[in-house]
Amino acid sequence: GLTGEQGVAIPRANLQHTILRPDVVEAVREGRFHIWPVEHVDQALELLADRPAGDLEREGTIHHAVAKRLRKLAGILKEQGPGTERTVEHVEKTPEPQADP
């Protein structure tokens, strides 16, 4: 059942055109389901990850963690050199960076 933790993120521009079943409207009114209107994908990321999207340089943000992982993968590819066969298995065996606090 609905516990108040569930919800959906939708583009704010679509909010006025959203049609919901009566049971969903009731659940929203009772706080058992949420509709989170977002204007930017970063807002949706923050809802899903429960941490700030932030920017590439600020530790603790989603974008910083993604940039850190991409830099690590780029370093691995650079070490392998051109013409090296790259496989998903190799990338999957690469340790993840530690999560920012």
Q: What is the pLDDT of residues 55-80, one digit of tens each?
A: 888 999 999 999 999 998 888 877 77
Burial of 93 (0-12, 13-18, 19+ CB in 10 A): exposed
pLDDT over 60 at 88, yes or no: no
Predicted TM-score (pTM) above 0.95: no
Q: How is the chain split into domains, by residue range?
A: 7-39, 55-101
Reduce the DSSP state of residue 60 to 3 states and report it: coil
Q: What is the average pLDDT value for the chain, to the nearest integer?
A: 86
